[in-house]
Amino acid sequence: MGSKGWGELLAEGRLPRFALICLGVWLNAADALVTATIMPSVGADLGGYAYFSWSVAGFLVGAILAGASAGRLSELFGLRRASALAGVVCMAGCVMSAVAPDVGLFLVGRVVQGMSCGWVSGFSMVAVALVFPERHLARVFASISGVWGVATVLGPLVGGLFAEAGAWRGVFWLFAAQSLAFSAAALWLLRGSARPAGGAGIPWTQLAVLTLGVSAIAVADVIRHPWTALGLVAVGVAILGLVLRIDARARVRLLPRQAGDVRTVVGAGYSAMFWMTAASMGFAIYGPAILQTLRGMSPLWAGYVIGVESIAWTLAAFAVASVGERWEAFWVRLGAVCLVLSLVILTGSMGGASLAWVLAGGSLLGAAFGFSWSFMTRRVMAALSDEERAMGTSATIAIRQTGASAGAAISGAAANVVGFSSGLTVHTAQAASIWVFASVIPLALIGGWAAFRLTGGAARN
């Protein structure tokens, strides 16, 4: 793979489809980040300050359910029609929020945006499996990681510009236009694309149970009482496990047959993705508030410090995109080790050590995923049968976002245990600077164990 260049990746007419895939991933990654920045303006205009968290939770619930079902829907309707329709639905959801006269319609629009963006990004992942030969997948996934990194940096900036101009509704008109462009491009660029192999039918039972599990985790993310939140996370994760058991026995499947078996490449890969993502959320969510309170940083400078995670992720992903296949296991394992090490460093440095240590911890956190993510995804895809490739590939987006939602709730509960929800003071920020990161080290260890299984026993099996 190392001898193959980026030119070959984009040759044979693949460049326009590559751009379409990146646009689909961007719509999902940037929408939530842009909206988080404008919510104070939305609250002032629509009177919905109490519903800040519900805007994000509603989007994530929709996105996770859609991402999980995208593979099956692409099999039923064909990738071209499904992608184009998802773009139209996304546009409709954006228009609903743009014209909303009250917070109720605004939140409904956010749920519709979440579902449609989940479908768009899920169908984009299916397109990766259909359009690109396996030898190019590491570079493709490195580029997708780059899109997520760019969204992390540009999303809040774009939202801030609209908010400062007093035109928050313009954000949704902007994304409506991008969604329409995606839909039109999908009709043109995906003509003649092969219909993904798979069975007929929709797994209604699994989707219904998945809705309960994801909703429990999403609600935990907006509840201030820490022990109730942790209980809801535990219930939600248990329900997700039940989904795997039901799906394993179902005639119409939602996930690949081996999704719940960590002895296999698919099961170990999904587990590593979920737990590693969950362990990483505290830095982006609570880092800015901690830095501003304890170090007197402005919001802009705190944002730059947090941004080192996405910068390191992107740089690391491109740095290893061309390595040979025999080195993949090394980079996956190094990524898992970097994750644990980053959390240890942040636990000891966020509260008052030299800023250089905070930057080092944030950089290692991003590098952990840059080194490992594309190779984990590629190994999972390679292990999938033809009839399971569409559903298995699109599910990686849903697994990532479910892990993010669970991690956000766990980090939030840890922060609230030490008084974060009662008010942001030097004392509460100091305590949160330790426990937000220390509390998720066990999750990182579980994710690391799964990553080592992915490249060890599961790979041999």
Please state the pTM of the whole predicted model: 0.82
Q: Given this model, what pLDDT does residue 173 score?
A: 97
Residue among 440, 438, 441 nearest 351 (CA): 438
Encoded amino acid at 358, one letter: V
Give 260's DSSP letter.
T
Give 105's DSSP letter.
H
Distance CA 146, CA 129 (A): 18
Residue 274 has pLDDT above 90, yes or no: yes
H helices of 190-280, in order, are 204-220, 226-249, 265-279
pLDDT tens-place string over residues 209-236: 988 988 888 888 777 788 888 899 899 9
CATH topology of domain 14-200: Growth Hormone; Chain: A; (1.20.1250)
- The mean of the pLDDT values for the chain is 86
pLDDT tens-place string over residues 298-323: 876 887 888 888 889 889 988 998 88
**Percentage of the chain modeled with pLDDT above 90:** 37
Q: Given this model, what pLDDT does residue 186 score?
A: 92
Distance CA 212, CA 243 (A): 10
pLDDT tens-place string over residues 351-402: 988 999 999 999 999 999 999 998 999 899 889 888 888 788 888 888 888 8
| Mean pLDDT value across residues 264-273 | 95
Q: Given this model, what pLDDT does residue 53 score?
A: 64
Residue 454 has pLDDT above 70, yes or no: yes
Distance CA 87, CA 250 (A): 30
Instruction: Tell me, letter by letter, the H, E, C secondary structure of 70-97.
Output: HHHHHHHHCHHHHHHHHHHHHHHHHHHH
Distance CA 140, CA 134 (A): 10
* Residue whose token pair is 């959390």: 343
Joined tokens for residue 116: 């449609």
| Mean pLDDT value across residues 154-182 | 88
Residue 1 has pLDDT above 50, yes or no: no
Residue 410 has pLDDT above 70, yes or no: yes
Burial class (CB in 10 A: 0-12, 13-18, 19+), 12: exposed
Q: Other CB atoms closer than 10 Å to residue 98's CB: what's the count?
A: 18
CATH assignment, 258-461: 1.20.1250.20
Q: Given this model, what pLDDT does residue 375 score?
A: 92
Encoded amino acid at 85, one letter: L
Enumerate the CATH 1.20.1250.20 domain ranges in the chain, comma separated. 14-200, 258-461
**What phi-psi label fits residue 385: left (phi over 0), alpha (psi between -120 and 50 degrees) or beta?**
beta
Maximum pairwise Cα distance, the chain? 61
Distance CA 377, CA 104 (A): 38
Q: Other CB atoms closer than 10 Å to residue 49's CB: what's the count?
A: 12
- The number of angstroms, rounded, from the C-alpha of 390 to the middle of its chain's C-alpha atoms is 18
Q: Given this model, what pLDDT does residue 192 score?
A: 66
pLDDT tens-place string over residues 110-165: 999 999 998 998 888 888 888 888 777 878 888 887 887 788 777 777 887 888 78
**Percentage of the chain modeled with pLDDT above 70:** 92
Q: Given this model, what pLDDT does residue 199 score?
A: 57
Contact call for residues 266 and 256 (beta carbons, < 8 A): yes
